[in-house]
Amino acid sequence: KLTFINNSFYRISEDFQSQNIISLHKEASKIFHFLGLYNYTVIITYVKLDQNAGNIELNNNSDKIVYINIDEKYKNSKETVLCILAHEICHKLLFVNNLHTPNMTMENEVRTDLATIITGLGKLTLNGCRHLRINNKAIIQNKIGYLSDKQFAEAFVARSKIAISLY
């Protein structure tokens, strides 16, 4: 039986600052605890990533240390950083519960995006799945995640209805 599905939604700490690495680590630990992943030490680094917005090392179970990288270009966007964190931490959640396929597949990524919504991290995903930045006077929009905006929204509405019916 999976214990990470509940009827509550994650609430961001009021003092969270994505640029502050201590604040970032505290928020990530809080998300881990929200999902029932206790006794993990989270180490997050902002780095330049070529393809992904973030990544996580999944195979390091023995010492309970979890390494997460977030692309440095998102560092100043609280919403985008939280979206990436939710996704990467849900990869770990699925891995720990044997719901993660060994190969990096699109099915795995879609399953992970859906897990963010099912577990109560959906607001983080929805609020951060579009990243806007200004570069040389042009507005650049990056899409974060593997579901379309419509799929994210439909899954979130369905999850919200289920949460309400559990009361």
pTM: 0.85
Q: Kindly report, residue by residue over 45-90, the tens digit of the pLDDT.
A: 999 998 889 999 987 666 789 999 999 999 998 999 999 999 999 9
Closest Cα partner for 121 from 10, 11, 8, 40?
10
Furthest C-alpha separation in the chain: 51
Query: Is 80 exceeded by the pLDDT of residue 142?
Result: no
Taking each helix axis as running N to C, give the angle between helix 106-118 and helix 78-96, from 0 to 180 degrees, rounded to the nearest 10: 110
Q: What is the mean pLDDT of residues 15-29?
A: 96
Q: What is the mean pLDDT of residues 18-44?
A: 95
